[in-house]
Structure 1
Amino acid sequence: MTSPSGRPTGDVLTETSAVAARLIGRTRYHLPEIVLAVALAWTLVALVALGGAFLEDAAIDGNRGTTAATVLDGSDYWRTLVRFVDDEGRLQTPAAGISYPVGLTPGENIYVEYDTADPTHVRVAGRTAVDGILPVAGLIAGGWVLLGPLYVWLRRRRARTGTV
């Protein structure tokens, strides 16, 4: 805190709490913009992920190899592991798993398409990034359904009261 002359009082706790109060006040005032930024970042990340899927599909389509694979134990919702033999006879088990794994169970035999230049890029045969458009659109819409009304409410509240 400062004295009436504008000099610090020397009380660190009082000065720190005054600075924190100003920071919290500014943050609360800008909360609608923060919510909007989170919604936009959510959208951007989802679109970049979908774009990455299309790029990976393009790489696979450019050097496509097709073979049989086995779905391995240890697979989960985020990653499905497979094992296959590539065109050079090497056994491949991509650590990142397989793209578009919906509906696969351990022990199942499937066909996969992979990038012969980089066999770690693998997808289930017949599935592409186009299959991911609807889930990504749902993810984006879900984010906006939650954050859009919150943004509008915070903006209206700030306009009405001058604070959030």
Structure 2
Amino acid sequence: MTSPTGDVLTETRAAASRLLGRARYFLPEIVLAVGLAWTLVALVALGGAFAVDVAIDGHRGTTAATVLDGSDYWRTVVRFVDDQGRLQTPASGVSYPVGLTPGENIYVEYDTADPTNVRVAGRTAVDGILPVAGLVAGGWLLVAPLVVWLRRRRARHGTV
């Protein structure tokens, strides 16, 4: 794309300026979309936790497990022997691992049809409702006022 004078840089800057102007105008909707996406991701994650619980409850096995080193905030790794006598160390870790420390011995419930689905015994997706609801509510406490402010600013100034 060249201008009549052949200055590609000037044309590129003009196109970028137009694009940024449009993005600035639609900023309230963009922020709202991010909030909705955040909420959807949280609900899908919670739905996934309930699906894993249904699978475990359908073919439940219970056994003792050891929390391994190498666990972190996002994933707590455990090792246990399943009902077939096989040593299991699910790569995705254990569900609902709050408060576990390496070397600790715990009881776990697992899906005998798929021993990679494992959770701490006595914990379920219901335990995750409050934290997820808190994250979603906290996100909307930031997003909602920001969207209102951006829309008012756009209405006053014609742009954000």
- Tell whether the structures are fold-level matches, with TM greater than 0.5: yes
Report deviation, 1:139.
0.6
Paired residue type of 1:44: L
Paired residue type of 1:107: G
Report deviation, 1:148.
1.2
Equivalent residue number for residue 103 of structure 2 = 107
- Following superposition, which runs of at least 4 residues in structure 1 exceed 2 angstroms of deviation? none
Unpaired runs of 5+ in structure 2? none
Equivalent residue number for residue 10 of structure 2 = 14
Report deviation, 1:146.
1.2
Matched-pair identity in % = 86
What secondary structure sits across from 1:51 in the alignment?
A: helix
Report deviation, 1:79.
0.5
Equivalent residue number for residue 30 of structure 1 = 26
Paired residue type of 1:134: L
Paired residue type of 2:46: L
Equivalent residue number for residue 129 of structure 1 = 125
CA displacement, residues 88-141 of structure 1 (integer Å, 9 cap, x when unaligned): 000000010000000111111110000001000000001000000000000101
What secondary structure sits across from 1:88 in the alignment?
A: coil
Q: What TM-score, normalized by structure 1, do the two folds share? A: 0.95
Report deviation, 1:8.
3.5
> 2:66 aligned with 1:74, yes or no?
no
CA displacement, residues 130-160 of structure 1 (integer Å, 9 cap, x when unaligned): 0000000001011111111111100000011
2:50 alignment partner, one of 38, 54, 58: 54
CA RMSD of aligned residues (A): 1.3
> 2:137 aligned with 1:141, yes or no?
yes
Report deviation, 1:68.
0.4
Equivalent residue number for residue 89 of structure 1 = 85
Q: What TM-score, normalized by structure 2, do the two folds share? A: 0.97
CA distance in 1, matches of 2:22, 2:95: 44
**How many residues of Structure 1 are paired with residues of Structure 2 in the alignment?**
160
